[in-house]
């Protein structure tokens, strides 16, 4: 059962969503924070597989000065393509924010078409997980022949490191502008990372 977060400023709405999705998801509540960056860190630290966010986040919290779209945009800047939906009773207003319309769903529709929503969210999660696994395998393959890489392959390795750092909880990396392959500390980090990834993949294939 996937662990997801539902973010809303009204506790009773959170409980309703939890009860409605209880058979398919482990739904946790993440308390809103006034600072949007602190909220992003809270979501990342929660290690959930997806987030569902209410569009209006300040109906009962006057100190919250961002809405669900703002929050999701910040999150996707950190974790590109992370599985997520915005739920709203004001679909036209939310769609006017220029956020991908596929990420916005009407609350009533979700309630009435529960099976569809569950299927779509699970599909998003599974697709994202598979893509991250492909990235990890590609990075491990490049790192395994580290000394033989072309300059283009070195750039790809750094790109993959960036992607995984932004999309994987607990994966730490240096900022792109300081990722220099000539740096000994950077080389050591990549070598250690490659050994870890290769071992993980070997263990997974052996199961």
- For 56-109, how does the pLDDT look when each residue is reduced to its tens digit (9 = 90+)? 998 777 789 999 999 999 999 888 889 999 998 877 777 667 678 888 899 888
Number of H helices, E strands in the chain: 8, 5
Token pair belonging to 58:
């300040």
pTM score: 0.77
Higher pLDDT, 178 or 64: 64
pLDDT at 173: 55
- For 124-151, how does the pLDDT look when each residue is reduced to its tens digit (9 = 90+)? 999 999 998 899 889 888 888 877 878 7
pLDDT at 61: 76
Calculate ∠ Cα 85-127-95, nearest 5°. 25
Domains, the chain: 2-112 (3.40.50.2300), 127-205 (no CATH)
- Report the candidate in 9, 5, 6, 11 with the shortest Cα–Cα distance to residue 58: 9
């Amino acid at each position: 059962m996937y662990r997801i977060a539902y973010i809303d400023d009204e506790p009773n709405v959170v409980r309703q969503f939890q009860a409605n999705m209880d058979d398919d998801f482990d739904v946790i509540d993440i308390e809103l924070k006034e600072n949007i960056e602190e909220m992003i860190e809270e979501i990342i630290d929660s290690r959930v597989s997806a987030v569902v966010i209410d569009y209006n986040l300040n109906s009962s919290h006057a100190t919250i000065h961002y809405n669900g779209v703002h929050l999701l945009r910040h999150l996707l800047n950190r974790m590109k393509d992370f599985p997520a939906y915005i739920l709203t009773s004001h679909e036209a207003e939310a769609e006017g924010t220029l956020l991908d319309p596929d990420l916005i769903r009407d609350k009533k529709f979700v309630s009435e078409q529960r099976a569809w929503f569950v299927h779509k969210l699970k599909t998003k999660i599974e697709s994202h997980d598979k893509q991250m696994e492909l990235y990890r395998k590609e990075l491990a393959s490049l790192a395994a022949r580290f000394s033989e890489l072309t300059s283009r392959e070195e750039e790809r390795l750094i790109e993959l490191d960036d992607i995984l750092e932004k999309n994987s909880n607990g994966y730490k990396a240096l900022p792109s502008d300081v990722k220099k392959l000539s740096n000994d500390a950077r080389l050591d980090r990549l070598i250690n990372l490659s050994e870890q990834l290769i071992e993980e993949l070997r263990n997974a294939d052996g199961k």
